Structure 1
Amino acid sequence: MDKKSYYIAVGASGIMESQGDAAYEFEIVATEEDILKLRELFEEREDADQEGYVHAHVPWMYTYDGPNDKNDYYLSQVYGMLHELGTEETRKHIEKMNVLPQADE
């Protein structure tokens, strides 16, 4: 499959093909299949984030951090994939952020 440049806004779960479409943090070079996987990770992270929002409003569940743990897991998977597909600048920036998945994840 052909690879092309994409511009990623992690907070907004944005994947853009043109630099000027919106603000972005990272540039990657990926296939359409890679982008489908990245979209799935964004969706899983958003689902976990919604679950965490509900969880935060139920006082008797306060000590259970499952939704937050899931959100952290998927966010680290997103950063791992961006690191793998990223330009040299993207990889260096992500490494400095110290957000890459641990070996046991």
Structure 2
Amino acid sequence: MDKKTYYVTVQSGEIMEDSTAFNYDFVINANEEEYDQIKQLFEDTADAEFATYSHSFPLSLSTYYNEENSTYDNHLRDIYIKLHELGTTETRQHIETMHILDSNTKT
């Protein structure tokens, strides 16, 4: 499959082909399947973030809340692993300086 260049911002979960459409953090090259994988990771992370937020008020520091945080953190880490895998040299170097992958880089 042919790869296209995409521009990604993790905070808002956006991945677009147009670099002028928004401020982006990372540049990746992905085929359609890889693009779909990243979109799914963003959706999973958003769901986990919502669960963390919705449970934080009544259960502040409970075990359940910590499990929800762990799920969110794992999804976010998966995003960075995938971005590192598909990223340009600059993207990979930037992610490496964040030290988010130090203990388990898949690439």
Distance 2:36 2:48 in 1: 19
Contact 1:80/1:101 (<8 A) preserved: no
Q: Note the 1:84-103 alignment, pairs <5 A.
A: 84-100=85-101, 102-103=103-104
Contact 1:3/1:32 (<8 A) preserved: yes
Q: Which amino acid aligns with 1:100?
A: L
Count of residue pairs the alignment pairs up? 103
Does 1:2 find its partner at 2:13? no
Contact 1:9/1:24 (<8 A) preserved: yes
Instruction: Report what 2:62 is aligned to.
Output: 63
Q: Which runs of 5+ in 1 are unaligned?
A: none
Q: Which amino acid aligns with 1:24?
A: Y
Q: Which runs of 5+ in 2 are unaligned?
A: none
Instruction: Report what 2:14 is aligned to.
Output: 14
TM-score (norm 1): 0.92
C-alpha RMSD of matched pairs (Å):
1.5
- Which aligned segments of 4 or more residues in structure 1 are displaced greater than 6 angstroms? none
Instruction: Report what 1:49 is aligned to.
Output: 49
Instruction: Report what 1:73 is aligned to.
Output: 74
